[in-house]
Amino acid sequence: MTLDLAATELAAPSPAAKPPSALEAPALPAGTAPLAVDATATAVGRTPGAPATAPAVGPGTRLAHFEIVRPLGHGGMGEVYLATDLALDRPVALKLLPTAVAQDRSRRERMIREARAQARLNHPNVAHLYFIGEDRGLLFFAMEYIDGETLAARLERGPLPAEAALELTRQAALGLREAHRHGFTHRDVKPSNLMIDSHGVLKVMDFGLVTDAVAAQGDPRADVDDAGVAASALVGTPLYMAPEQGQGRAVDHRADIYALGATLHHMLAGAPPFAGGSAAELQSAHASAARVSLVSQRGRRAVGLADAVVARMMHKRAADRPASYDELIALLDQANPARTRPAGFWVRGVAMGIDLVCAALVSIPFAVVADGSGNLGLLLYFLVLAPLMVARFGTTIGHALFELTITPARGDGRVRFLRAARRYLTMSAPLALGIALEASATDSTPARAARIAVTIVGLLYPVIELARAALFSPDAGTLWDRAADTRVRYRSRTSALAPGPTATT
């Protein structure tokens, strides 16, 4: 869609709707229809509107080529109405900014510049801006009307399942990433600024407009230059605000990542991460208080994975949060079972059993050559051949039969040989100890009993550890996966859920 901030030529408005501050149209010959006055706020010669107070606005009011239908909501930056674009006969969301903004030249010009920049954003997860105009002394934006509900309205009905919360957070991150590529830091990410349309697509709203909220509320810091406002203006909602933002320090996209993490916590828990009786109390909590873990509250593996992502996003120090939106999206995908399918106990157990059979087959030649001892073949398979297969193909014979892959725990790609060898050494250490005892111990009864016991433990240890990880570990990570920083999951396939828009322009 091409976003055009130019005015549309229409039939002349009625005298009551004629903007008091508009340029007068030249006299026309009798019988000639007059042209509409250009109500675009960026029109040449346009100056701030004259009225000291905003005129009454309601259903039926005409502003430029828009007719208001009904109110949609209001906030610190003005009123929002459902309106009809009379030129294209489509619904739009019309945001009327406070009169103080329209009458202040510097703030007005900054808003127009930001609107022009925002209009260049064209992404499925960003609410589009169509038009910026001025009529009857009112400065307004015409934006995409989203037929749906805000995330805040959805959360009034209770928390979301972990998979749905992670998917919505991913879509928000995609929209924020696109905005960041165009130089925007939102500074007010919160559930009421995230809209879910009737198709389940989340759209981020109000890019670029929040920087002027301080000026609209009469904060003296509004007099600083544009760069200062863009970098450190104290705007946002204390329930979701990053510590550095609450302290008035310079912020960047990592403050938005923090606020998005607080929003994800709200989606999972049904309430924001911190509560307080005042903005100061909330800012203090974000800066120093420990967030309550969600695992103890709900106890599901998917919640545990999501909670780990929230902890990373809401780290007190900006440097310890995901450094980029690409990194954040990768973390969200890894935590979402709908996108990264983790392997469970039974399939991993059978895959390991098949690998053990393969190791036994490899040990047969060694047993023949070494006069009945195939232990060397077992060690060769688990400490050399299996790591080589993981490093080269990302899987082993047993895992490949069930479409399982062994990948780094963070990020994609292949596991290097040394890391894979460390994984299998941790897995087979008890069994290797039993083999070593068998090679060095005497034939006494105690020694024989000891090596038999150690060998049995070595064979049972992987099964017991798999069961422990499946039952108690939030990410189903075994000791050997933790030692090597790996994970076992199904090969990537298209998610059964809506994949979430990824296209950028």
Active-site residues, by number, are: 188
Is residue 497 left, alpha or beta, with left meaning phi > 0 and alpha meaning psi from -120 to 50? beta
Contact between 83 and 68 under an 8 Å Cβ cutoff? The reply is yes
Q: For residues 179 and 155, what is the distance between their CA atoms, to the nearest angstrom?
A: 25
Q: For residues 195 and 205, what is the distance between their CA atoms, to the nearest angstrom?
A: 7
* Residue type at 76 in one-letter notation: G
Query: Which two structure tokens, joined as six digits, stand for 452?
Result: 């038999």
Q: For residues 142 and 165, what is the distance between their CA atoms, to the nearest angstrom?
A: 29
The dihedral built from the CA positions of residue 326, 175, 216 and 212, taken in this order, carries a sign that is positive
Q: For residues 386 and 392, what is the distance between their CA atoms, to the nearest angstrom?
A: 10
Which residues have CB under 8 Å from 8's CB, separation 6+? 65, 87
Q: Give the residue from 266, 92, 246 showing the smallest Cα distance to 172.
A: 266
Helix (H) or strand (E) holding 197: strand 194-197
Instruction: Using CB atoms within 10 Å of the CB of residue 1, give its burial: 0 to 12 exposed, 13 to 18 middle, 19+ buried.
Output: exposed
Count the residues in the chain: 505
Q: For residues 263 and 270, what is the distance between their CA atoms, to the nearest angstrom?
A: 10
Q: For residues 232 and 217, what is the distance between their CA atoms, to the nearest angstrom?
A: 16
* Residue type at 265 in one-letter notation: H
Q: For residues 302 and 308, what is the distance between their CA atoms, to the nearest angstrom?
A: 10
Is residue 8 left, alpha or beta, with left meaning phi > 0 and alpha meaning psi from -120 to 50? beta
Instruction: Using CB atoms within 10 Å of the CB of residue 437, give its burial: 0 to 12 exposed, 13 to 18 middle, 19+ buried.
Output: middle
Name 75's bridge partners.
78
Instruction: Say what the alpha-carbon torsion angle 32, 38, 39, 41 is, to the nearest 10 degrees.
Output: 180
Name 134's bridge partners.
139
The owner of tokens 């697509």 is 201
